[in-house]
Amino acid sequence: MSLKVDHARCTQCRMCYIVCRELDINAVYVALDPLHRIEIDLNACTYPGCTACLMYCPAEGSIVEAATGRSVVPPPPDAWQAG
Amino acid sequence: MNPILEEFCDKWVWPTMPGAPGAEFRLKLTRDKCLQGWDALLTRTIRDIEEELQNNDEEWKKQHALRGYAAEGVHMSIKQMSAQLLSVDIGEQENYIDLQRMRARQIWDECKHSKLHADVLLGKGWVKDERELMQITEANIQPLPAYFGLSMMFPHIHPLARAAQNYYTEANACLGIMAYIKLCGDDPLVVHEHLSQRDEELMHFMEGKYQLDFYCTTPEAQHHVEEALGYLLHQLGGFGRSPQPGGR
């Protein structure tokens, strides 16, 4: 499973990019084609093992589960509460 | 707890990255200090809005926009927030480059917010152009001893001290905006004034949350954040005694 960006809601603030890079996962990148938008590399993203970007994204609904389309911003309890 | 504050906390404050090294400190700071300030300021804001809505004229909306322009006007934002970039020494710039970039982005955001306030003043016909605002005192003053927390920056010069301002003060902005949109949602210009601010103030809050969770991991760094927060609670919330910078 992985995450993807809903560009209709993303404000391009880069918080997800900064957090992902800080953790050295580097799944978030800026796609040069066509609009220099923030994207998530499906192969590098370790969700649901890592949910860090979700905790700092300020744009409601802007990150979704790639497979299901479920919005995970703000983070649902299963993304951050153990057990 | 006010339902608006409860919603804000459930959505944006309590969700915490498992294993984030500074999260325990942030959550304790939130429970022990921030909640009290957030609740008090939100209660005051709601009371003010409800009183203002009793008025038959829109003078309060004009005053609100003028105060907003004073707080976030282009000339204020650029000068004051550019100075805040200096809170990171040259030798440490590489370590804090993302924070510097975020600060640069915030300067742009605040400048845009001033335009939103100007849109209300223009749209309602209260000023004929933005140049006229330079001649209106209320659009160029603030009650604080120094604009935009600049009084905080110089005594509290540690790079992470501003995390306290991003976390505490920007949450207050978010809560005020949530209240305005909820209570004044039938005025499209007021909604326009606040809608993009809502997302951007939340981003600034998230900057603070991120900094506290990831970098504020030593007693030394935490001490600087607590000092700055103590100042803000005293200055903006009226709580406690203003702490002495450097004092322990």
* Residue B66 near residue B91 (C-beta atoms within 8 A): no
Query: Over the range B126-140, which residues count as b (16 or more CB within 10 Å of their CB) and which as e?
Result: bbeebeebeebeebe
Distance of CA B168 to the CA centre of its chain: 7
Interface test with A, best of B17, B112, B215, B216 (most A CBs within 10 A): B17
Query: What is the set of domains in chain A, with CATH numbers?
Result: 3-76 (3.30.70.20)
Q: Is B7 near chain A, with CB under 8 Å?
A: no
% of chain B with per-residue pLDDT over 70: 89
Instruction: Dig out the tokens for B54 from the structure.
Output: 């009793």
What Cα–Cα distance (Å) separates residue B246 from each residue in B153, B221, B227?
Answer: 13, 12, 8
* Residue B245 DSSP SS3: coil
Eight-class DSSP state of B86: G
Separation in Å, CA of A12 to nearest CA in chain B: 10
What digits encode the pLDDT tens for the residues B82-125? 777 777 778 888 877 877 887 788 888 888 888 999 999 999 99
DSSP H stretches of helix in chain B = 3-8, 23-29, 35-53, 59-72, 74-84, 97-123, 150-153, 161-164, 170-183, 188-215, 219-232
Task: Please determine, for residue B164, whether its predicted confidence score (pLDDT) is greater than 80.
Answer: yes
Rounded to the nearest 10 degrees, how much is the dihedral formed by the CA atoms of B228, B229, B234, B235?
60
Judged against a pLDDT cut of 90, whether residue A44 lies above it is answered with: yes
> Which residues on B lie below 8 Å from A18 (Cβ)?
98, 102, 210
Provide mean pLDDT across the span B191-220: 92
Model confidence pLDDT, tens digit, residues B122-154: 999 999 998 999 899 888 877 666 555 555 566
- pLDDT, averaged across chain B: 86
Would the CB atoms of A15 and B199 count as touching at under 8 Å? no
Contact A65, A58 (CB under 8 A): no
CA pair distance B64, B118, nearest whole angstrom: 11
Using an 8 Å CB-CB cutoff, list chain A residues near B12. Answer: 58, 74
* Residue B248 pLDDT exceeds 70: no
Cβ–Cβ below 8 Å for B200 and A80:
no
pTM: 0.90
Q: Mind telling me how many Å the CA of A81 is from chain B's nearest CA?
A: 8
**Which residue in the set A51, A59, A74 is minimally distant from B199, CB to CB?**
A59
pLDDT for B246: 47
pLDDT at position B50 is 92
Provide Rg for chain B, Cα atoms.
Answer: 18
